[in-house]
Amino acid sequence: MTSRAGDNAGVRQAVEDDVAELVRLRALLFENLGGDFFNPASGDGGWLGELAVVLKDQLAAEAVRILVVDGERGLAACGVGTIEQRLPGPHLRNGRIGQVIGVVTDPAYRRLGHSRSVMRGLLDWFRASGVARVDLYASSGGEPLYRELGFTDHPDPSLYWRP
């Protein structure tokens, strides 16, 4: 299945039968990211079972959207978006923030516009849901697409803490 760059034809919402493929694609995502943050503390793959449980639970959540594109055997691509309600402020009037958790395309289906289609579907959902801002972390390979879709450098410094 191919889709033209720029449209979201062929994109659908994930269903429970997609969970195994979603886990496979999510694992591919981490294989392509580097740096200390993305290197798991435990390389035993135990997190994959936990991921399957959470994905299955999140499929029906109103604040989560999981979009997929079908391939010939399994999924060609997927993307996950979430919406979080934070406190409103002068630069975030309604306090609703969208987060793109990850967009990944199987290597056999890359350069066919699937990530673009998934992102357009997520952005349409964020707009319809009234989010004030959408954040994401971009890989070097994905950054040009995200910039083309209107993402810019975040003005706030980012820090994290792991207990």
Of 10-14, 20-24, 154-158, where does mean pLDDT reach its minimum? 154-158
Q: What pLDDT, on the 0 to 100 scale, is given for residue 14?
A: 98
Could you tell me if residue 3 is inside a domain? no
Could you tell me if residue 155 is inside a domain? no
Of 68, 85, 94, give the one whose Cα is nearest residue 10: 68
Q: What pLDDT, on the 0 to 100 scale, is given for residue 2?
A: 39
The one-letter amino acid code at 46 reads: G
- Which region, left, alpha or beta, applies to residue 92 given φ > 0 means left and ψ of -120 to 50 means alpha? beta
Domain that residue 116 falls in:
12-148
Mean pLDDT of 28-32: 77
Residue 67 has pLDDT above 90, yes or no: yes
Could you tell me if residue 105 is inside a domain? yes
Q: What pLDDT, on the 0 to 100 scale, is given for residue 34?
A: 56
Residue 162 has pLDDT above 50, yes or no: yes
Please provide the average confidence, as pLDDT, over all residues in the chain: 88
Tally of domains within the chain: 1
